[in-house]
Every structure is written in C-alpha cells, then in structure tokens.
Structure 1
Amino acid sequence: MAVHDDQHSWDEWYRSADTIWSGRPNPQLVAEAAGLPPGTALDAGCGEGGDALWLARHGWRVTGADIAPVALERAAAQAKVEGLDVEWVHADLTTWTPPSPYDLVTTHYLHLPGDALERALTRLAAAVAPGGTLLVVGHDHEHIARHHPDVADRYFSPESVAARLGDGWEIQVAETRPRTTTDPSGEEVTVGDAVLRARRAD
C-alpha cells in the first residue's frame, strides 16, 4: 500500500497523472455537512479541492490547506474556472497552526505515521470555533489492519478520535460506514469509512 509523508513524495504522486481524484466531494462530507448553516470552513488536506469547492458552492467561506503545491495549483485553477473564492494555503498539518477559528473543520483520509497524526488532529480540533463542528473521516483501522498491517498505525477508529477530544465536545457521530468504491484493478469493492463528527461547546 503506497503512502506519502513529505511534500516531495506528494508532489511526485500528483504529477504522475493529470488528475488524481474525481473532483467530486467525499460522500461523508456531503452527508454530514449538508445540514449545517454555512459559515467559515477549513478543509485540511484538501488535495485537488473537491471538498473545498463543494463547500464553497454551498455558501461556505473556505480555506483549503495541503502540503502539496501541485495539488493546490489544480484546486486553485478549478476554483477560478467556477468563479469561487477559496483561500488556498500551503501547509504541513503536523506543524501549521490555523490563524483563526472555523465553524467547520473537516479532514478526509489524513493518515500520518506515529505521533504525527496525534499532532495534526490536536491542531485541527483546536481550530474549531465555539459551537463549531469537527468532521474527521478516514479509512477504517480494522479493515487496514487486516489487509495492510505494515501501515496500520496510520489509521484510526472513530472512537479513538473521540477519546482524544476530551471535555467540551458533544460527540454526534462516531461510527464506521460501508462505502462502495473501485480498487486499482477496476473491481468494485466495499470499504469502511471511520466517521467522527463532534460539536464544540459554546
């Protein structure tokens, strides 16, 4: 299972194809954010911008942050085509401190080694405004541990993310959901998404 940790490896991966992602928003973002009143949003690890652009289309004032300049350039180009005003930030999420709180902080498939994941999630949780929402979605740890045990430490369960938050949070969703996707061979497979949605106390 291929993994990327630094800016160079991410940029090289994005350069390997004209487009890596579909451009569509992740389904768990749509499911969890569609009913929220638009405000300020941070899409952490935004890649080519599918989620950030979906939020912007729905009235959010969005910041998209990612470690890969190549991905950010593609995201910015698509935003320009659509006439959407999104702030794009080049950032290493393990060290970057968001400059202001957001009504929604969302990250999808942020899988980092060792304590880097802990550092990133701690910073993202701290960036949620009072009354705001944190949405963390990842590949289910149990599924990864069965099929790719060598990288299982990068993945998480929704309960483990909830436990990191501590007091001052209302856990609204903490579950693993099945999702149908296509594997590299073109075969349709069912995978699990670990979904954590929490509201910060006012």
Structure 2
Amino acid sequence: MALFVFPVEVTFNVLRSPASGFVLHLNVRIGLRADTHEFRPKVSFADIAVIDLKLHDHHLTGSSGDTMADERVSHWEEVYREKDDTQLSWHQDDPSISLELCDVVGVDNASSVIDIGGGTSHFAERLIERGLSDVSVLDVSKAALDRSRGQLGAVGEQIEWIAADVTTWSPERSYDLWHDRAVFHFLVDADDRSAYRDQLHRCLLPGSHAIIATFALDGPKKCSGLPIVRYDPEGLCEVLGDRISLVTHRKHTHHTPWGSSQSFQFSLLRVGQ
C-alpha cells in the first residue's frame, strides 16, 4: 500500500467588516492512500500529515468584489441619504472643543485648515465665520458634502469640498492644521491606519498641527453599526509615529441628539522633523 503526500492550498475570501477584510489561507498536507488499481485515493483524518493555517489582514480588491474603500463609500452614502442630522449620534451644534484647541495653536485668518470626515459638521462654517479663507472639508460621502454645502449657501462657496476616502486620497498640497473628529477610530485595519498616517504626514509640514478626536478608552465600542478602536492620547501618538508629539488634550463627554453620553478624547498634536 503506497502513501502519497500532496500539498493542497485552499483560499477563503471573507469580509470581516465594512472597514476591513481578511483572507484566510489554509494549507493542508494530506496523505493519500492509493488503495485501488485505478489509484483513486481514499482520505482519512489519520492521513493528515501537516495543517498550516495562516490568517492575515488583506484588502479585498479586484473584480471579485468591492474594495474596502468602496465599502466605506456605500455605507456612509446610505447613512447620509437616509438620516438627517438629528439622527446622527456624532452630530454637534457647537464644535467648541475643536475651536478651543485651534486657539491654543494660534489658528488665524491666514491659516489653512482641512477637516477630515467633516460631513455635515459645523466646524468649517465656524472657521469661515472667524475670518479664515483657506478651509477644506474632506468626506467619503458626497451626499454629506452636498447637504452641507447646500445648507451653508454663500458660506459654502468659500469652502473647498473634497469627496474622497482619506486612506486612498492623493493630497496635492499642505495645510497648517489637520482636523479629524471621529474618522480615525473607524480604521480598525492596520493597513488603513498606516495609509491615514501617510496622508497626515504628506499634508502637514514640520511645525504644523493636528486635532484628532476619537472615542476614549471608556467610550462606545461601535458607532453607526461599525466597530471602532478606542484611544487615549498616548496610544494615539504611538500609532501615528515618532514624528507626532502631544501638545495637550481634552476629555469630553458628547451628548447625542437623543441624550445619550459618549466619552471622547481630543488630542492636539504637533508634527516634528
């Protein structure tokens, strides 16, 4: 009775979440018994010689399915088409913490600011009211940007609106301040966080600043049905790399439009050499 060993590789593409994906590679070596004259093998569990299971993060791309960026676009387009601001847990009428931190670093009329994931936030509007003229808003949802621009009327014409996923966007310029309230914590995939970090460094020259707000360590574990990663200021700096240093931070309890409480941390960061 002969024993032949053949390596068999089976690949499963499994979508883990709208924000990330993984590919499961299952490599199995199986001993095949040639028990018949026709050499048709019979396999039993006792004949399994080696099982090598590998699991790693992977962006799902190509014709077999949408990219993760496309999944994000679909999710947020649906959210902003179906819900008004009073139905969005992250909505706030007054971005007071962000504006306070702008004052800490001396943001003035000559400063350039980009609001990452600005959606229908009032942050850009408040900056225009303060006299700034170089304000940009980036969001993955065109529906959100169209709504905000329409609501602002003439003020909206003074803002640059960028419909793009921050992880795949190609910035063409630098800014004095990068503002992100509740985008980064949605990036549960390490590759997405790395892409975000790269974009931040492309947009900010040494000496520039970033304000990044996420759910705090005692904050919710999900938002809009999606998993998130919670941070404290030190953990956020560690993820963003050695060139990022913490200037100051604020602990903030956000109250949703329906009265629930959410714990946030706001980190004011400086980009070094």
Normalization by structure 2: what TM-score?
0.62
CA contact (8 A) 2:197 2:240 kept: no
**CA–CA distance in 2 between the matches of 1:125 and 1:144?**
28
Tell me what 2:46 maps to. Answer: none
Deviation, 1:180, is 4.4
- What is the letter of the counterpart of residue 75 of structure 1? S
Deviation, 1:19, is 3.3
1:31 aligns with 2:103: no
- Which structure has more RCO (C-alpha within 8 Å, separation ≥ 6)? 1
1:10 aligns with 2:76: yes
SS at match of 1:70: helix
SS at match of 1:42: strand
Paired residue total: 194
Tell me what 1:126 maps to. Answer: 202
Uncovered stretches (5+) of structure 1, i.e. residues with no partner: none
- What is the letter of the counterpart of residue 120 of structure 1? Y
Greater per-residue helix proportion:
1
Change in Cα spacing, 1:118 to 1:161, as seen in structure 2 (3 Å) is: farther
Tell me what 1:94 maps to. Answer: 167
1:58 aligns with 2:130: yes
Deviation, 1:121, is 3.4
Normalization by structure 1: what TM-score?
0.80
* Of 90-99 and 150-159, the range deviating more from structure 2: 150-159
1:163 aligns with 2:232: no
CA contact (8 A) 1:130 1:200 kept: yes
Deviation, 1:160, is 1.7
Uncovered stretches (5+) of structure 2, i.e. residues with no partner: 1-17, 20-70
Deviation, 1:170, is 3.7
**CA–CA distance in 2 between the matches of 1:83 and 1:67?**
18
Deviation, 1:84, is 5.1
